Amino acid sequence: MARANSKMRRLLAIGAASALAVGLAACSGGGGAKDENTVVWSTWGTAEELTRYQDFNKEFMKRHPDITVKLQPVASYDEYHSKLLAQLASNTAPDVFYVGDDKMGQFVDSGRLMPLKELMEGEDSQTKPDDFFPGLFGAAEKDGEYYGAPNDSNPDVLWYDKQALEAAGITEDPATLAENGEWTTEKYLEMNAELKDAGLTGSMFWNYWATHWSWLSSQGLPAPYDESGAFTANSDPASVEAIDTLGAQFQDGTFVVADTLPDGAGADSVFVTHKAGFFVQGRYTIGTVESTGEQDSYDIVRWPTPDGEVAPTGVAVSFLAINGKTAAADAAFTFWTEFLSAEGQTFRLEGGGNAVPSIKGADDVVLEGDYPAHAQTFLDMRDVGFTNYAAEARVPGLSIDISDLFLKLYEGKQDAQTTLDEAAELVAEKSGE
């Protein structure tokens, strides 16, 4: 369920609250178990996701009748992390828990997570470090040690609506262009201009780290942080120019910030009524477009690049970590490794699951049903993609604050150079440099 944008947080707050109301929580209150054979684990999630987790718990306990597993969901994404940090500080945290990609660095630096490298490499592990796609560890890896591993992933692909493109007079298919190495930034912006001229929205993006940093990476530009963690995008003229181009598309209404759309006329509604050409989201969009009965109108394509070749772009993930002070260390790792294994991810994601596996050996769940037509794109983008930069993810609230700066750019309240300069100042200030 790796989704890390503001839409996710709103949906998860509603979905998990509903799940709690109908009694999906397997235990109430807080804190891990106090015996070595009981594992309490915690996450946020929609009602459907929490039901699947309960099913996993039941199957796990059938395999391990000596271990009891209890799920402890928390209603909202932001409430979840603040509560969990408080529990860790007071030694009342669950034994195993999810952590968001924009929070993971903070949790690693807290010193409260169990180091996992030796366990992952051990004979009882079903999750060797090399089994995962390396770009997905992000802030969960520090100084050669692992403090968590990605549960699954969601590359931000460009979903597109063939009906909207046709209405704008566009006859070329983006996925076909990509297959031929012709899916260029120039071609993409031309299509967006045609959509706008036809009275339609060109592209809708969520305002979070994967949007602005994917744009830089897709344009062949360096990461916004150097190896020391210092922010450098503001001092690179090509990066400033690329962000200026990005901002200009929002400022003239060709691109739309999905977060700012009004209730009742949100991005999903715009997309399923054929009023937008492109919508940048993950695999979870399948359910949205299938609900229309017109799913054949929709397909996916990777981000465009100047030369039409593949480039790394953002992949939303969440991580599974183990409490460093769990009283059930062996049982917790058994649960952890089976939950993240290829078999575990297949169990959680098959049959219309809403994410992409983060581990080798489970890719068939993405290709089942042959939908969308270019579902392989999810896997290709995951293989080369990256999660939130550790320099950003380890600082509490930094990703959100940087996104707030970008919103000013998108709304035409400041230019690209100012936006990036203020981001550099913010990073230096919050990182204590």
Q: Are 249 and 192 spatial neighbours (Cβ–Cβ below 8 Å)? A: yes
Looking at every residue in the chain, the average pLDDT score rounds to 91
Q: What domain range is 161 assigned to?
A: 157-313+395-431
Q: Residue 71 domain-assigned?
A: yes
Q: Residue 251 domain-assigned?
A: yes
Is 300 in the same domain as 366?
A: no
**Would the pLDDT of 16 be above 70?**
no
pLDDT at res. 126: 98
Q: Residue 34 domain-assigned?
A: yes
**Would the pLDDT of 31 be above 80?**
no
Q: Residue 379 domain-assigned?
A: yes
Is 80 in the same domain as 29?
A: yes
Instruction: State which of 384, 403, 423 marks the end of a domain.
Output: 384
Is 203 in the same domain as 181?
A: yes
Give the separation between CA 24 and CA 381, rounded to whole angstroms: 34
pLDDT at res. 77: 83
Is 350 in the same domain as 377?
A: yes
pLDDT at res. 201: 98
**Would the pLDDT of 195 be above 60?**
yes
For residue 266, the domain's CATH number is: 3.40.190.10
Give the separation between CA 215 and CA 236, rounded to whole angstroms: 15
Number of domains in the chain: 2
Q: Residue 1 domain-assigned?
A: no
Is 85 in the same domain as 145?
A: yes
pLDDT at res. 8: 46
Is 404 in the same domain as 274?
A: yes
Q: Residue 58 domain-assigned?
A: yes
Is 126 in the same domain as 254?
A: no
CB atoms within 10 A of CB 322: 26
pLDDT at res. 357: 97
Which CA distances in Å does 148 have to 85, 130, 277, 299, 319?
16, 14, 37, 33, 6
Q: Residue 328 domain-assigned?
A: yes
pLDDT at res. 28: 37
Is 67 in the same domain as 190?
A: no
Phi, psi of 339 (to 5 degrees): -65, -40
Is 321 in the same domain as 416?
A: no
Which CA distances in Å does 150 have to 101, 135, 321, 339?
9, 10, 9, 11
**Would the pLDDT of 23 be above 90?**
no
Q: Residue 116 domain-assigned?
A: yes
pLDDT at res. 4: 41
**Would the pLDDT of 270 be above 60?**
yes
Whether the model clears a pTM of 0.85, i.e. scores above it, the answer is yes
Tell whether the torsion through CA atoms of 236, 242, 243 and 244 is positive or negative: positive
Is 136 in the same domain as 285?
A: no
Average pLDDT over residues 13-23: 33
Would you list the DSSP string of 265-276?
S-HHHHHHTT-E
Is 408 in the same domain as 331?
A: no
Helix ranges (H only) for 1-76 are 6-21, 47-63
Is 195 in the same domain as 331?
A: no
